[in-house]
Structures are given as C-alpha cells and as structure tokens.
Copies of this chain bind each other. A is one copy, B any other.
Amino acid sequence: MTSLPSGRRAPRGSLSAAATRRVERPAPLRQAVYDALLELIINRTLAPGQHLVEAELAEYLGVSRQPVREALQRLQTDGWVDLRPAQGAFVHTPTEEEADQLLAVRSVLETYSAKLAAEHATAADVKLLRKLQKAGEEALGTANVERLVKANADLHAAVAAIGRNKVLSEMIGLVDRRVRWYYTPIARPRSRDSWNEHAELVTAIADGDAERAGEVMHRHAEQTRQTYHDRKSPESSTKSD
C-alpha cells in the first residue's frame, strides 16, 4: 500500500516532516526509576540519611537491581544521595553550609540567566512569561504550597530557556531543584514579595533591559537566601503563614 503521490503536487519530502517527529521511544527503565526515586526523595517519603537498599527498592518498584543501581548512581552525581563504597546509598542530608552555597551559586547563575533573557526575549517569550506570572499570582490565592512552588519553578525555568544557553539552563535546573528541596519544607513565607519581584523581573525582561533584569534577579535570589537564613536563627519559625 505504497500509494505515494509521485506525480501530483506532492512535495518530494513528504516523509521528512514525519521523520523529524521521533516515534515513541521505549523509555529506558533507569530513567523511570530515577524519576520515581527522585520523587520519593523530594516528597520526603525517603528521609534524609535513610539507607537505601537496592534489593528493597527493586522489589518495591517491580524491577531488578540493575536499573535501580544505575538510577542511584545518577542520583549521586546530581547530589541527591551519597553512595558510600561497599555500603550502599543514603539519602543525602543537606547541611546548613551546603544549602547556603547552593543558594549562592543559584544567585549567580540566575542573575546571568536573567540578563541573557532580557537580551534574547521575543514577543512570544514575554507573552509566556506574563502567562506564568499570572498563573503564579493565581496560585498565590489558593494557598496551595505545592502549586506555588511549581509555578515558581516554571517561571524560573522559562527565563532560563529564553536565555538560549542550554548549558546554563541545565545547570540552573539541577541547582534549583535541590534548592527547592531544602527550601520547600519551610517555604511558607515570602510568597507575596516573591511574586512582586517576579513581576518586576518580567517587566525588565520585556523592556530588554539586561542590566536591570540582572539586578532584579540578583536581589530576588539574595532575598530568598536571606529568608532561608532568617528562618534558622530566630525562634519565630512559626510566624503567621
């Protein structure tokens, strides 16, 4: 049934359009395991410090040890678990110091990201940002923490993507996810201010003002960092949500 339109108005590359679209790839199991384990770690089902036994995880997930091992090793290089030689995997326990270092790096990367975004943003890009900004504002009203965190992540990811630097985007993705892991359990305050700063950022990007966008983002990131620290020292950790 190869009724290829050979004589008619058929563009000779009728298949090339379809060729660009890769058919469903049999997603490697290790990737699925990686995602599953990461989810379990982030939502604290697997607590920091907990010993992860390969055989247990394998049985729990219904796979063999092999893909579990591979996933654990990638989780290690991404900083989610510590792989102690001959002893196994342990969920990474974030220290105060490490959290601050991550926040510092994040600040630097995001600042640069914002500058790039301001330089490269198209009209469509700005439109997307405004949409995400709006979604964030709405989530703010629902007081749904999880949704709020996701909206925040989406906006930052979008800014990074607009910067057109893939290396930078991936790095920010890794760092941000870990920061959120540390930050989420205490991420009650600061929502209102945070999204005001986001609005300011989007405006700067829309204006193509790289300097200002970078400055706003820097202030934003440092503010987050400060909030993280404030939460540690004072005993007022149970301030009004």
A residues with a Cβ closer than 8 A to B are: 25-28, 30, 69-70, 73-74, 77-78, 85-86, 98, 101-102, 104-105, 108-109, 112, 165-168, 171, 175
Contact = CB atoms under 8 A, between A and B. Distances in A.
Contact of A166 (B28, B101, B167): B101
Contact of A69 (B70, B101, B104, B167): B70
Nearest to A86: B26
A109 B165 CA distance: 14
Contacts of A175: 167
Chain A, interface SS category: helix
B85 A25 contact: yes
Nearest to A169: B101
Nearest to A113: B108
| 8 shortest interchain CB distances as A-B pairs | A101-B167, A101-B165, A108-B112, A77-B77, A25-B85, A105-B168, A105-B167, A102-B167
Contacts of A69: 70
Nearest to A102: B167
15 contacts: A26-B85, A26-B86, A30-B73, A69-B70, A73-B73, A73-B74, A77-B77, A98-B166, A102-B167, A104-B165, A104-B167, A105-B109, A105-B167, A109-B109, A171-B171
Contact of A104 (B85, B98, B168): B168
Contacts of A165: 101, 104-105
Contacts of A77: 74, 77-78
A166 B101 CA distance: 7
A222 to B, nearest CB: 13
